[in-house]
Copies of this chain bind each other. A is one copy, B any other.
Amino acid sequence: MDDMSIAAPLDAVSVHELEPWSDIDHESLKALLASSAVVRARRGDQIRTDIAILFYGALGVERSLFNGRRVLVSLFHGGDLIDLRREERPRQGRLVALADSLLLTLDAEALDRAVQEDPKLGKTLLHHAADQSGRTRDHIADLAAKTPLERLASVLFEFRRWPDVLAIDPGGESLMMPILRKDIADYLGIKPETISRALKRLQSAGMIATAREQANRILFLDIPSMRRLANGANPRET
């Protein structure tokens, strides 16, 4: 991993506190951790691992086209299990940190063994895979058919589900933007300028507000309208 440092070793107990992994048998987790490494990544670092558990932060799979065009194919947040073993041709996608992150890199064989020993782990993994494939389909629908305004509303709801973001405001009435405008733009297939303008439109429509003194904090004022918008309703119809 580029420019990444190995952080203080993590013990099974603290991983246990991470919501999605809390029901895994303590011993299985411990064995798995024995083959793992805790890694701290800073924004911009590339991460060269096939399998990882993201503890907190934000990662993305990045692809570059000619003319400097860049796409973020998918986003990962705290609690996600990332498994890129299936990735076809190499060079087609790089895993990069979009925010300062803490993650656990796992050994493929150790994971396979742990799954065999603890059926609950297998179930958790499967559930995560299903969740991620669902997110992927949602994302395709966003990219194929939605306006920038709708895409932004959609991604704001996505952020609202991120545990890191939730932790700051469990009520869910506000969120801190977890990644840069540029990265949101590359994820949504639009330009940062368009994000700015779309945020302004959401404000003047009374759906959101920005917190004074915290420009990067978004307050949700009208969640039902936002939801309709995110689902592809015409803004004039809401």
Which residue of B65, B93, B137 contacts A145 across the interface (Cβ within 8 Å)?
Answer: B65
Question: Which stretch of A25-33, A48-56, A127-135, A158-166 is in the interface?
Answer: A127-135
Question: Is A204 on the interface with B (CB-CB < 8 A)?
Answer: no
Residue A43 is within 8 A (CB to CB) of chain B in the complex: no
Does A19 sit within 8 A of B, measured CB to CB? no
The B-contacting residues of A in range 125-167, CB under 8 angstroms, are 129-131, 133-134, 136-137, 139-141, 143-146
- A136 x B134 contact (CB < 8 A): no
In the complex, the answer to whether A66 meets B231 with C-beta atoms within 8 Å is yes
9 contacts between A and B (CB under 8 A): A65-B141, A67-B233, A70-B145, A74-B140, A88-B131, A89-B134, A139-B140, A143-B144, A144-B189
Tell yes or no: A20 within 8 A of B by CB.
Answer: no
**Most chain-B CB neighbours within 10 Å: which of A92, A130, A137, A188?**
A137
- A interface with B by C-beta (< 8 Å): 61, 63, 65-67, 69-74, 86-89, 92-93, 129-131, 133-134, 136-137, 139-141, 143-146, 186-189, 231-234, 237
How far is the CB of A18 from the nearest CB of chain B, in Å? Answer: 22
A137 CB contact (under 8 Å) in B93, B129, B233? B93
Cβ–Cβ contact A133 & B86, under 8 A: yes
Task: Given A86-B129, A129-B86, answer yes or no on A71-B140 (Cβ-Cβ < 8 Å).
Answer: yes
Which residues from chain B contact A92 at a C-beta distance below 8 Å? 137
Q: Point out the residues of chain B lying under 8 angstroms from A129, CB to CB.
A: 86
List the B side residues contacting A143 at CB < 8 Å.
140, 143-144, 189
* List of B residues within 8 angstroms of A231 by Cβ: 65-66
**Distance of A235 Cα from B139 Cα, bound (Å):** 27
